[in-house]
Structure 1
């Protein structure tokens, strides 16, 4: 064999290296193939003419399939598809209190507006407003009468109410296998443009056997649907014109299904209601994978305004009931619960500055009660003689950390004894004690540093919110459940027992007012008004989920808007669509 010189050797090695790299890339590509990458490299912009017929949509609706079930089960075909999709498992079909039905879910998914507008509430479509807010089929027919649209539905009511203007309608006769066959037949047509299919078997199984991830019938139905999806995708790829077309595959559920609630579900609003839980996938083999998660409950901000109550050795600014000397008295009998939110911002504490109470002096044998700062913790004291305090049970958690906390005091009867106990963030603080003293005082009820002999020194800097006083000893289970909430609602179980409720969210002015309707006194700043805005997260609070938080995931109302954008129809403002367009990222940077 002829010996190669240095230059020839280098050329040979480079050639072998490039060949090896090429073989490796081909191998990886074949192992990770979803759809064949036969779509055009350049994509038209968002205003592409609908008449070009190249941007097409395959839209599959799986009734009653919870997004969280898909996440848990990870069916093989869907699991492969999401690798080239923008998708979520925590989508929503309606975020309001409207009762969810199949028809409502279909209508929202096809019109791009919620039931507040389309008015489809029941499966008989009574009193609907679909003329004012028509479906995709009607809108696209108006945009281009020659565009072929097809609806293949397992449920007859789907076609008869929502697909009136579809070019072709196929009755699946309550048989999802026939729906699958109908979709495949439609995809064999050269002029197929929008193909919509409605599958119903998973919802039937859920109604019969439950919508849980462990329900055999429900799981089996989802697995069968996944097989159908695989068959449909294969048929799509087999189109003779596929290489010259640009298909977006949309797979979603029209609604979820009722399952036993999990701990903390109530704190998540619509996210915690399994009946509203959907999933949505926008698939194209050129898409970069984008998973859209729901917001974490502990990351939902508590925001608004609160009174900032400051004090030092020379100055105090408090909120006080003024000349009212009876409000807030706990006396020698009766049950009470006091709950409030506090954020302690002071850096250090000398002395024992109060947070709130009704006492003129809490050192020894003085009537009334007080909650005060003691180092890094808070204490409750009755009549200057009996008290508890310290960090919450089983923790070293400081209350003076610049984070919002919930504090509660419960006065209750146990046998023949009157007892007092305290909680912070769902944990018992200190040890309950039997109270044998009078917890009434002529000192006005005060929020902030009460001027007593014990509080003449020590800086205090706190924000207070949501002060609620009840004339009942709230059961511990209820108390621990509601301590995380950041507002008192009429639906709360002890709402009728309120004596006073001060949200402390006015944001301006020198007074705060009672919102319980029970005539509690107005509280007034002792000096100038002092309000602070805040936007905080706290692991101890569960603020209500806002519409903005719901909007961070794909909602079913977004789907029609996304389809219009893909096909090249720009919806005018007169359509009043509720959905938004999600940005589609491509693997080829030239398409960004």
Structure 2
């Protein structure tokens, strides 16, 4: 769903357009590479690199709104999200994996690979063998590091946080510096605002799930009072988190990328399918 910066905000419900452009570029490069005429290789050029003069610290805030579809977001009139779209790149379209359970979607979000590679399906966040292995064969357990593993390897000074009402998700990213399992969306917001005061904070994931709960209880449509009310509250929480972000002591020396996404939208009853 979304990606954002505070100064150059980005929201991205879908990267399909980017994939199409990449495919076009690859096709053009293939055509160019197949041309008959050959040119001499230029001589090697060695450049001395000095110290990096960039002093701005790049940091990331990723917000998941579980149960929010692109179609409903487009109609919902959520002022804080709309404010972010003024300088954002975004799409209301979908990019859906074959298996779109909450666990599969979150694992894809955190690892950058699809279900076909990580094989995480249910809420245990653990690989379950298919049971189709013949006697004597070995089925190795797939292991795909999540983004927090990479951050800790490459940016050890960056503190990482994930705040969610889903306890199993917090356990899955227990490697984070602050893997908080909280009671509800209000507690997600409160914890995020408190952690925003931490100068070493580098990456924060927030998971709001009240819209999904309201959609399950009623329907995934802004005509449903419970669903729309949950979205309004989440929008307010996001506004408070962004305000706390901008109030950070070193904000002027930081370059924040804010991404807003949804692991799943409306669930089709009795089917393992998801509409975004």
Same fold per superposition (TM over 0.5): yes
Residue 194 of structure 1: aligned partner: 203
Q: 2:161 aligns with which of 132, 138, 150?
A: 150
Taking a change above 3 Å as real, the CA distance of residues 53 and 189 of structure 1, as seen in their structure-2 partners, is farther
Taking a change above 3 Å as real, the CA distance of residues 146 and 240 of structure 1, as seen in their structure-2 partners, is closer
Pairing of 1:506-545 with structure 2 (within 5 A): none
Taking a change above 3 Å as real, the CA distance of residues 132 and 189 of structure 1, as seen in their structure-2 partners, is same
Structure 2: tracts of 5 or more residues without a match: 9-50, 129-139
Q: How far apart, CA to CA, are the structure 2 residues paired with 1:36 and 1:194?
A: 17
Q: How far apart, CA to CA, are the structure 1 residues paired with 2:265 and 2:249?
A: 37
Q: CA deviation at 1:214?
A: 1.5
Q: How far apart, CA to CA, are the structure 2 residues paired with 1:235 and 1:206?
A: 29
Deviations 1:185-206 (A, max 9, x none): 1111111110111111111111
Pairing of 1:103-118 with structure 2 (within 5 A): 103-118=103-118
Q: How far apart, CA to CA, are the structure 2 residues paired with 1:52 and 1:154?
A: 35
Q: How far apart, CA to CA, are the structure 2 residues paired with 1:217 and 1:238?
A: 32
SS of the residue 1:120 aligns to: coil
Q: CA deviation at 1:172?
A: 1.2
SS of the residue 1:69 aligns to: helix
Q: CA deviation at 1:53?
A: 7.3
Q: CA deviation at 1:165?
A: 1.6
Q: 1:166 aligns with which of 168, 173, 176?
A: 176
Q: Tell me if the contact between 1:258 and 1:275 (Cα under 8 Å) persists in the aligned partners.
A: yes
Pairing of 1:49-448 with structure 2 (within 5 A): 54-94=57-97, 96=98, 98=99, 100-127=100-127, 132-161=143-172, 163-173=173-183, 175-258=184-267, 275-277=274-276
Q: CA deviation at 1:93?
A: 3.1
Q: CA deviation at 1:66?
A: 0.9
Residue 36 of structure 2: aligned partner: none
Pairing of 1:415-564 with structure 2 (within 5 A): none
Taking a change above 3 Å as real, the CA distance of residues 222 and 147 of structure 1, as seen in their structure-2 partners, is same
Q: How far apart, CA to CA, are the structure 1 residues paired with 2:216 and 2:141?
A: 28
Taking a change above 3 Å as real, the CA distance of residues 81 and 274 of structure 1, as seen in their structure-2 partners, is farther
SS of the residue 2:266 aligns to: coil
Pairing of 1:30-45 with structure 2 (within 5 A): none
Taking a change above 3 Å as real, the CA distance of residues 130 and 87 of structure 1, as seen in their structure-2 partners, is farther
Query: Which is further off, 210-219 or 130-139?
Result: 130-139
Q: How far apart, CA to CA, are the structure 2 residues paired with 1:63 and 1:130?
A: 28
Q: Tell me if the contact between 1:93 and 1:108 (Cα under 8 Å) persists in the aligned partners.
A: no
Q: CA deviation at 1:35?
A: 5.6
Taking a change above 3 Å as real, the CA distance of residues 137 and 131 of structure 1, as seen in their structure-2 partners, is farther
Q: How far apart, CA to CA, are the structure 1 residues paired with 2:227 and 2:58?
A: 34
Q: CA deviation at 1:274?
A: 7.7
SS of the residue 1:78 aligns to: helix
- The alignment of Structure 1 onto Structure 2 pairs a total of residues equal to 216
Q: Tell me if the contact between 1:211 and 1:259 (Cα under 8 Å) persists in the aligned partners.
A: no
- Calculate the TM-score normalised by the size of structure 1: 0.34
Taking a change above 3 Å as real, the CA distance of residues 274 and 80 of structure 1, as seen in their structure-2 partners, is farther
Structure number having the greater helix percentage? 2
- Calculate the TM-score normalised by the size of structure 2: 0.72
Q: Tell me if the contact between 2:68 and 2:212 (Cα under 8 Å) persists in the aligned partners.
A: yes
Structure 1: tracts of 5 or more residues without a match: 1-33, 38-47, 261-272, 278-592
Residue 530 of structure 1: aligned partner: none
Residue 30 of structure 2: aligned partner: none
CA RMSD of aligned residues (A): 2.6
Q: Tell me if the contact between 1:176 and 1:199 (Cα under 8 Å) persists in the aligned partners.
A: yes
Taking a change above 3 Å as real, the CA distance of residues 228 and 131 of structure 1, as seen in their structure-2 partners, is farther
Q: Which has the larger radius of gyration?
A: 1
Residue 29 of structure 2: aligned partner: none
Q: Tell me if the contact between 2:157 and 2:200 (Cα under 8 Å) persists in the aligned partners.
A: no
Structure number having the greater strand percentage? 1
Q: CA deviation at 1:52?
A: 6.7
Q: How far apart, CA to CA, are the structure 1 residues paired with 2:239 and 2:141?
A: 33
Deviations 1:337-378 (A, max 9, x none): xxxxxxxxxxxxxxxxxxxxxxxxxxxxxxxxxxxxxxxxxx
Q: CA deviation at 1:234?
A: 0.6
Q: How far apart, CA to CA, are the structure 2 residues paired with 1:130 and 1:245?
A: 39
Q: How far apart, CA to CA, are the structure 1 residues paired with 2:6 and 2:206?
A: 20
